[in-house]
Amino acid sequence: MKATAVVFDNPKQLSLQALDLPSLQEGQVEVAVQYSGISTGTERMLWDGSMPPFPGMGYPLVPGYETVGQVVRAPLGAKLKEGQTVFVPGANCFTGVRSLFGGAASRLVVSDQKILPVANDLGSDAVLFALAATAYHAVSGGGHQEPYNPPDLIIGHGVMGRLLARLTVAAGFPPPTVWETNAERAKGAEGYKVVQPQDDDHKGYQAIYDVSGDSSLLDKLIQRIRPGGEVVLAGFYKDNLQFAYAPAFMREARIRVAAEWKRPDLLAVNELVNSGQLSLK
């Protein structure tokens, strides 16, 4: 059986290809894809060739780690049943191409341990589970330790920034301030304020979370933290980051990198969505 997949043949070269699907094995299900999101960070860099060297990277490759679909085949004894709507955080089921993410295809064969059952009525909004889990992970640490300080300043009000701000409010923490320079993206705040950086003169933030991916901001952010404060790099950066040492030294600044989500983060976000505490709209 074949699936139609989006393939990045080379930077800025895209095709639709019919790729062979493997036979179902124990513990696997076949998913008919309904929606697949496009990351404006990592996948855009894969598209234009600006992605830094990364394990599993190469061309041709199948992108897609924000996929939603319906289980259409499930062997006897599978944990998921046919007809169940699921979120698929990528797949590795095609030969002859790299599956760095692997979810942008019409059909997928995936482990039932990897995917997440989600509410049927979420529709295309369910593609945001990956970003929501990433935002949650930046504070939770994947459930393997005590949570970090929540953000009191978030840089960027794109999808990731919105979700991080909503999660902070939903957890009962003080509403964060969000910096955003784009007037259109600044709209839509729910329970927190969005301001232009030049309109914020506060210089005592405890935890600044950058989700903009702008590698030039680190010096500016260090100047805004209190002594012992933290800057969290929760975006993805194609350029090297650097900072002036003296201001960081004077504040005894901490700089932390938040990577991709873990399974406990995804499960926690799903519970928040199901309980109505987090909106993906």
Quick: pLDDT tens for 250-260.
999 999 999 98
Claim to verify: residue 135 and residue 210 sit in the same structural domain: yes
- Using DSSP, state whether 16 is helix, strand or coil: strand
Whose CA is closest to 43, among 162, 165, 145, 131? 131
Claim to verify: residue 239 and residue 184 sit in the same structural domain: yes
Band the pLDDT of 42: cuts 50, 70, 90: confident
Supply the CATH number for residue 253's domain: 3.40.50.720
Question: pTM of this prediction?
Answer: 0.92
Query: What are 77-96's pLDDT values in tens digits?
Result: 788 999 999 999 999 999 88
Sign of the torsion angle spanned by Cα atoms 79, 82, 83, 87: positive
Claim to verify: residue 139 and residue 252 sit in the same structural domain: yes
Claim to verify: residue 145 and residue 182 sit in the same structural domain: yes
Query: Do 124 and 35 meet the contact criterion of CB atoms below 8 Å apart?
Result: yes
Q: Which amino acid is at 55?
A: P
Percent of the chain with pLDDT over 70: 99
pLDDT value of position 146: 79
CA-to-CA dists, residue 140 to 71, 130, 178, 279, angstroms: 30, 15, 20, 19
Query: Do 195 and 218 meet the contact criterion of CB atoms below 8 Å apart?
Result: no
The last residue of a domain, from among 89, 117, 145 = 117
pLDDT value of position 58: 87
Whose CA is closest to 270, among 261, 205, 240? 261
CA angle 159, 164, 166 (to 5 degrees): 95
The residue-averaged pLDDT of 179-199 equals 96
- Using DSSP, state whether 182 is helix, strand or coil: coil
Sheet containing strand 254-257, edge to edge, reads 193-195, 177-179, 153-155, 205-210, 225-233, 254-257
Whether 25 maps to a domain, the answer reads yes
Claim to verify: residue 80 and residue 161 sit in the same structural domain: no
Whether 277 maps to a domain, the answer reads no
The last residue of a domain, from among 82, 117, 152 = 117
Claim to verify: residue 100 and residue 211 sit in the same structural domain: no
Tokens of 265: 């983060």
The residue-averaged pLDDT of 108-116 equals 94
Claim to verify: residue 85 and residue 176 sit in the same structural domain: no
Claim to verify: residue 100 and residue 148 sit in the same structural domain: no
The answer to whether residue 142 scores a pLDDT higher than 80 is no
Domain containing 156: what range?
Answer: 131-257
Supply the CATH number for residue 7's domain: 3.90.180.10
- Using DSSP, state whether 161 is helix, strand or coil: helix
Mean pLDDT across the chain, nearest whole number?
94
Whether 6 maps to a domain, the answer reads yes
pLDDT value of position 152: 97
Whether 190 maps to a domain, the answer reads yes
Structural domains counted in the chain: 2
pLDDT value of position 76: 81
Percent of the chain with pLDDT over 90: 84
